[in-house]
Amino acid sequence: MTMTRDTKVTYGLLALFGIFGPILFPDYTLSIAYLWMMVLMASTWDTLGGQMGYNSLGNITFFGVGMYVSAIVQITFFYEGGVGEYTSAMGSIKPEFTQAEYFWGLGLGILAAGVVGLVLSVIFSSFMFGLRGPYFAIGSLGLAIAVAEVTITIDYVGGASGISMPLFPGDIEFRSTFFYILCFVLTIISHFLLRWLYSTQFGLAINAIRDDEDKAEAMGIPTLAYKRIGWAIPAFFMGCIGAVAGNMAGFIDKEVAYPIPTFGIFMVAMALLGGKGTLWGPVLGAIIFHVIKEATWTYLLNLQWVALGLILIINIVYFQQGIMGWFEGVSKSYGGVKANVDITMGVERGSITGIIGPNGCGKTTLFNSIVGYHPIDSGSIQFDGQEISHLLVGDIARLGMLRTFQQTRIYGKMNCVDNMQISVSHREDSKFSMFASRRGEIKDRAEHLLEFVGLYSKRNLISGDLSFGQQKLLEFAMALMNEPKALLLDEPTAGINPTLINGLIDRLRRANEELGITLCVIEHNMRVIMNLASHIYCLANGHMLADGTPEELQNDQRVIDAYLGGH
Amino acid sequence: MWDNLQLLFVWAPIINVQVILDGIFVGAVFALSAYGLALVWGVMNIKNLAQGDFVIMGGYMALALHQLHVPLVLILLIVMPVMFMFGWIVYVLMIRRIIDQDMFVSLLATFGLSLLLQQVMNLIFGPEVQTIDMELPVYDAFDNMVTVPSSKLITLILAGVIATGVIIFMKRSRAGQAIRATAQDPRAARVLGIDIDRVYAFTFAFNAALCGAAGVLVSIIWVIQPFYGITYSVRSFAIVTAAGLGNLPAVIGAGFGIGLFEKYTGAILGTAYEVAAPVSILLLVLIWRQIQMRRNRQVVR
Amino acid sequence: MAEDEKAKAAKKKAAKKAAKKAAKKSAAKKATAKTAPVKKAPAKKASAKKAVKKAAKKGAVSGYGGGSVDVVMSVDQVAKEAASIAANAPTVAELDAMITGEAFLSINNLRAGYGKMEILHEFSLRIGKGQSLCLIGPNGAGKSTVLHSIFGFTNIFSGSIVIDGKDVTTLTPSQKLAEAGIAYILQDKSVFPQMTVEENLLMGGFLKNKPAEAKAAAEEVFSKYSRLADRRDKPAGVLSGGERRLLEISRALVMQPQVLLVDEPSIGLEPRFIDMVFEILDDLQRKDGKTIIMVEQNAKKGLAFADLGYVLVSGETAIAGDGDELLDNPDVGRLFLGG
């Protein structure tokens, strides 16, 4: 974790403010404590939303659950009557905890809140991560509402009438200072944990998931595991800070615990305001947002909520790139096409095989079925002696069979070297390699392969800015980085200048000869396929029309009629 | 809950008729706002979280007009154009700026709009629950076990008329054709001389008008309150998720389905689950779609 | 590990060797480029002779064309050499000399782009009535931007576009289509998939004042292309690639345009349909007298088809000339046609 001078100065200033702020302005201690809380919320939201592209509107769930869990733990451990008796008394019981009891209870409560948040996020992960884009956002909002509604039906924790937190054993100044320190420390811990995480392989992987999850899966990145962790981290911290916030408030009910239209949306707005997908954006956004809100809140009277809606709209409609100037693109997607394919074919190890056939003949469907995007109704697909027809994309990729996409798919907001580094093989992954730092040797290999495809001079450019042909070359280099056994290429030369096509063919041949990668290529361009493939299959209407060497096919009357056209 | 189940299925099964009728009445209204959402989603890729607040807005307009003794049909004829204009203004001021953006921006911006509208309505009309009493006769059947207010019948007929009008409009009119073409391929629509920006503005305004109409009907058969909007938004999302974009019959079917589900939930679990019911439906639909998609090695996107 | 190392070393060596070879080759070629600049003799060939020659050429380039793949150059090399050729860019007077008769469509010193970014710099173009012109060049050279600018999809900073003596620079796309007689045919998959073939054609006449006119124009298309008439009630999404392209072209004809802007007609098409599409375009040019400006990545086919060819390099015309002549030009061949 090396830091530039600017970063050190920033940390120094923030630390000075954090330490001397409450000393110089004791009246604002709690307000500054809430500022740190906002920073934590925005930063951890950004792990899932900004860095990974899963825009959650429901992270506030863990906040509320954390509050209730902490309340239960604090009361159960040190009040002999138990939670049920405590809540049914509707706040008339006020047990006097000793300082030791209180602080032990609070410590355990915070920890338990974090752990329960984490466990909850893992449970949510099991049924939420099949959703993408708007569905995930709406679904997570639904989850937050549902959990809030469920909470108020549970009489054990006070139902709709809420629950009083244990009294703080000390005077009011000590209380503010204590909670201030808690908020500040938790925020520092979360910040440095995120900072470290973003510098590891994990950081690259979640960025890759954000830029193009299908591609990431096709490259064998175990996306679900990353996504689980990407949600567990915010969930843990939201739980912890929820426990702290509950004790700061002194009394919790649905409104305090699940403030969906306020904190729930604030944290997203702050991350967007500062610039999502960056380490400092959410911090900056939170500070600006909080200062503006605190400064204007008291003057707006009844209009404060109207103002809130307006702020949100203006923030999002006019400042959506955020102060850090980060641009969000539209993720690509395509729908599935069904075609009936009844085909038997084999690809020899170490060969280059071509697949040709009219549009809609089922070539791409065949491809998708092989690599795991489409289910197959019957038949079998074997790779390296193993049945793979039931496996999913990621599993197949990890076996060593990769595909490239017709519409080139790279992680457009990352630079070329990062694109390469994230493409390493995941065949021998262990549990902890996720958090491995980016090793020098991987970078060397990345640069070496970039040189191989002729992109060395562009290695530090943002890949989305490369020309189309260069992006194709990069995608190919990324596939090589993965050291696949077999590579399936879908129209690798479509839309490329003919002279550059020659370069790509040359690289493909060399990858086959020098690296021993088996290639299987779909192409329309006969100049390419005739010069590249040693054996060609021609499909038509979902069945195998003919196969043979390029020369045989070129003179096969059936192929000429159905595909090549008359000469 | 057990008592309610026994009541429904053992002691007085005839009550089912009541529940089903009520489900159909509200389902028709849900379908209207859901179709509007599907339209805006499909044509311009905007996920409008203020959908429910448009409905409630229409409801309050109807309420105000009713207090001026305006007849029902005329209320509809006033509310729909006014909401249409409102939608157009919202499009020009905010939607136009976020239309090419990431989907999350549209969700969040319309969520902000939703908060704003709620608060403005709260300031104007107050937080009380209100309804329109049309003072129309109520029909009884099966020894008073089933009651059918004629106001509900009228709203069902009106909903049917509006839906038919929408189908004919989308199929036959020039504007409808332009909307369908833009939804299917905006680039191609542009080179054929269709002004995409106007199509978008029209679509969004048209959606607001549909929501307004739904709101008028809601204020007659049910209750409105400034903060009830979100449940209509959630229902609309559930319906669209289940039915898919741009398929009106499927949307209507899903609308009735959700109306029935909610009424049965209410009858069995009690009305305390008023908010939870649509949300849990949404979650169930999302999970069901995932299971369906996973079978095809796909995800819900 | 040791094996890995060896493989790496081999890779590196091979990469170096290839680079050296290519460099040598390019140096040699550059010399020829310098000594033999592409100068156009005033084109005053008898059109009959041209047609004969055309027919012969067309047989030679079918589908994507054949040929070897021996010329291997990097993206940078191509860009560098293209830039050096662009230094000898043809003048407007030379462009004027290439066309037959008066210029029907002319672009004068156009600077245009998207947003604030300028992509075309001082771009000029001339084409006579009933002629065809093909723009080729590397990805990102601004070929599609030319078509977009003519149709009104770009920001035009300066310069003018004139059709048949009328200045149309500032017209909107719908005015271009309805008043100036320009139609745009998009690349790849632009039919409305859930509408029927007939509805798609009628959408082509969206700007007609009377629906009956659009209907009549659609009937005319059906009588001309029976393959479409057979499928008139089918959703366009189920058509084959070739039929879809045919529908896209004929949909643009409903407004009876004089100028057709065609964007990559062969992209994504199987070989036999490529020939069909070019036959249709040829028919439109020769029989119906349409003026055609196209962008084509399948440059051999495009140049064999078109009367005129322009090679664009980073927003400027580097080489212009007769289509066939460009096909034979060694520089064009090496840099843009794959040798």
Chains that touch C (3 or more CB pairs under 8 A): A, B
Comparison of pLDDT for B265 and A70, the residue scoring more: A70
Residue B267's pLDDT is 82
Q: What is the interface size between B and C, counted as CB pairs within 8 Å? A: 57
Mean pLDDT of the region A3-25: 86
Phi, psi of C294 (to 5 degrees): -130, 155
Alpha-carbon span A43 to A298, nearest angstrom: 27
Chains that touch B (3 or more CB pairs under 8 A): A, C
Residue of C8, C67, C139 lying closest to A497 (CB–CB): C139
Tell me the average pLDDT of chain A: 83
CA C270-A352-A451 angle, to 5 degrees, is: 100
Distance from CA of C193 to the nearest CA of A (A): 13
pLDDT digit string, tens, across residues B252-295:
889 999 999 888 888 887 766 767 788 888 888 888 888 877 77
Residue A341's pLDDT is 53
Is A334 among the domain residues?
A: no
Residue A160's pLDDT is 80
Residue C77 has pLDDT above 80, yes or no: no
Residue of C173, C189, C203 lying closest to B177 (CB–CB): C203
**Maximum average pLDDT range among A322-331, C49-58, C291-300:** C291-300
Taking an 8 Å cut-off on Cβ atoms, the answer to whether C203 and B193 are in contact is: no
Residue C40 DSSP label: P
pLDDT digit string, tens, across residues A113-136:
999 999 999 999 999 998 888 889
Residue A109 has pLDDT above 50, yes or no: yes
Residue of A452, A494, A531 lying closest to C267 (CB–CB): A494
Contacts of B190 in chain C (CB under 8 A): 153, 173
Q: Are residues A276 and A378 in the same domain?
A: no
Q: Are residues A87 and A231 in the same domain?
A: yes
In B242-271, the residues whose Cβ lies within 8 Å of chain A are none
Residue B34's pLDDT is 92
Residue A336 has pLDDT above 70, yes or no: no
Alpha-carbon span A331 to B102, nearest angstrom: 8
What residues make up the domain containing B15?
A: 2-295
Is B301 among the domain residues?
A: no
Is A526 among the domain residues?
A: yes
Alpha-carbon span C305 to C134, nearest angstrom: 8
**Maximum average pLDDT range among A35-49, B161-175, C89-103:** A35-49
Is A249 among the domain residues?
A: yes
**Maximum average pLDDT range among A43-57, A279-293, B92-106:** A43-57
- A163-167, A356-360, B224-228, C76-80: range with lowest mean pLDDT: C76-80
Mean pLDDT of the region C222-248: 87
| A563 near C CB under 8 A | yes
Please tell me the total count of domains within chain B.
1
Alpha-carbon span B52 to A109, nearest angstrom: 39
Q: Are residues A377 and A237 in the same domain?
A: no
| B286 near A CB under 8 A | yes
Mean pLDDT of the region A479-503: 82
ipTM above threshold 0.90:
no
pLDDT digit string, tens, across residues C79-93:
777 777 777 778 888
CATH superfamily of C129-138+171-336: P-loop containing nucleotide triphosphate hydrolases (3.40.50.300)
Is B232 among the domain residues?
A: yes
Residue of C72, C74, C272 lying closest to A565 (CB–CB): C272
Alpha-carbon span A208 to A215, nearest angstrom: 8
Residue C5's pLDDT is 52
| B102 near A CB under 8 A | yes
Is A3 among the domain residues?
A: no
Residue A438's pLDDT is 65
Residue C86's pLDDT is 74
In B153-192, the residues whose Cβ lies within 8 Å of chain C are 174, 177-178, 180-181, 184-185, 187-192
Phi, psi of A403 (to 5 degrees): -130, 155
Grade residue C47 by pLDDT with cuts at 50, 70 and 90.
very low
Residues C45-67 as b or e (16 or more Cβ within 10 Å = b) = eeeeebeeebeebbeebbbbbeb
Q: Are residues A365 and A305 in the same domain?
A: no
Taking an 8 Å cut-off on Cβ atoms, the answer to whether B193 and C173 are in contact is: yes
Alpha-carbon span A396 to A372, nearest angstrom: 7
Residue A326 has pLDDT above 60, yes or no: no
Residue of C193, C207, C248 lying closest to B193 (CB–CB): C207
* Portion of chain A with pLDDT greater than 70, in percent: 92
pLDDT digit string, tens, across residues C90-106:
888 888 888 888 889 99
Mean pLDDT of the region A369-376: 77
Please name the residue of chain B whose CA is at the shortest distance from the CA of residue A368.
Answer: B297
Is A212 among the domain residues?
A: yes
User: Residue ranges of the domains in chain C?
Assistant: 129-138+171-336
Alpha-carbon span C244 to C247, nearest angstrom: 5
Tell me the average pLDDT of chain C: 79
Which of A46, A48, A57, A138 should we substitute to test contact with B (largest number of B Cβ atoms within 10 Å)?
Answer: A138
Taking an 8 Å cut-off on Cβ atoms, the answer to whether B187 and C186 are in contact is: yes
Is B300 among the domain residues?
A: no
Alpha-carbon span A75 to A109, nearest angstrom: 9
Q: Are residues A126 and A222 in the same domain?
A: yes
Mean pLDDT of the region A43-48: 94
pLDDT digit string, tens, across residues B148-159:
888 888 888 999
Provide Rg for chain B, Cα atoms: 20
Please tell me the total count of domains within chain A.
2
pLDDT digit string, tens, across residues A177-214:
999 999 999 999 999 999 999 988 888 889 889 888 88
Is A329 among the domain residues?
A: no
Residue C41's pLDDT is 42
Residue B15's pLDDT is 79
* Bridge pairing between strands A486-490 and A518-522: parallel
Comparison of pLDDT for C47 and A410, the residue scoring more: A410
Q: Are residues A184 and A250 in the same domain?
A: yes
Burial bucket for residue B208 (CB in 10 Å: 0-12, 13-18, 19+): buried
| A476 near C CB under 8 A | no
| C62 near A CB under 8 A | yes
Residue C110 has pLDDT above 50, yes or no: yes
* Portion of chain A with pLDDT greater than 90, in percent: 22
Mean pLDDT of the region A475-504: 83
Residue A498's pLDDT is 75
Alpha-carbon span B267 to B287, nearest angstrom: 24
Burial bucket for residue A338 (CB in 10 Å: 0-12, 13-18, 19+): exposed
| C272 near A CB under 8 A | yes
Grade residue A91 by pLDDT with cuts at 50, 70 and 90.
low
pLDDT digit string, tens, across residues A408-452:
788 888 889 888 888 887 766 665 667 776 667 888 888 888 888
Residue A323 has pLDDT above 60, yes or no: no
Residue A390's pLDDT is 79
- A40-44, A84-88, B14-18, B228-232: range with lowest mean pLDDT: A84-88
Q: Are residues A531 and A463 in the same domain?
A: yes
What residues make up the domain containing A433?
A: 352-564
Please name the residue of chain C whose CA is at the shortest distance from the CA of residue B195.
Answer: C174
Please choose, from the candidates A243, A260, A248, A234, the residue with its C-alpha nearest in 3D space to the C-alpha of residue A68.
A243
Residue A88's pLDDT is 74
Residue A277 structure tokens = 């997908």
Please name the residue of chain A whose CA is at the shortest distance from the CA of residue C5.
Answer: A445
- A54-63, A331-340, B63-72, C243-252: range with lowest mean pLDDT: A331-340
Taking an 8 Å cut-off on Cβ atoms, the answer to whether B195 and C184 are in contact is: no
Chains that touch A (3 or more CB pairs under 8 A): B, C
Taking an 8 Å cut-off on Cβ atoms, the answer to whether B184 and C194 are in contact is: yes
| C140 near A CB under 8 A | yes
Comparison of pLDDT for A368 and A103, the residue scoring more: A103
Q: What is the pTM of this model?
A: 0.80
pLDDT digit string, tens, across residues C7-22:
455 554 444 444 444 4
Residue A392 has pLDDT above 50, yes or no: yes
Which of B171, B191, B194, B248 should we substitute to test contact with C (largest number of C Cβ atoms within 10 Å)?
Answer: B191
Residue A374 has pLDDT above 60, yes or no: yes
Residue C32 has pLDDT above 50, yes or no: no
Residue C87 DSSP label: T
Q: Are residues A444 and A560 in the same domain?
A: yes
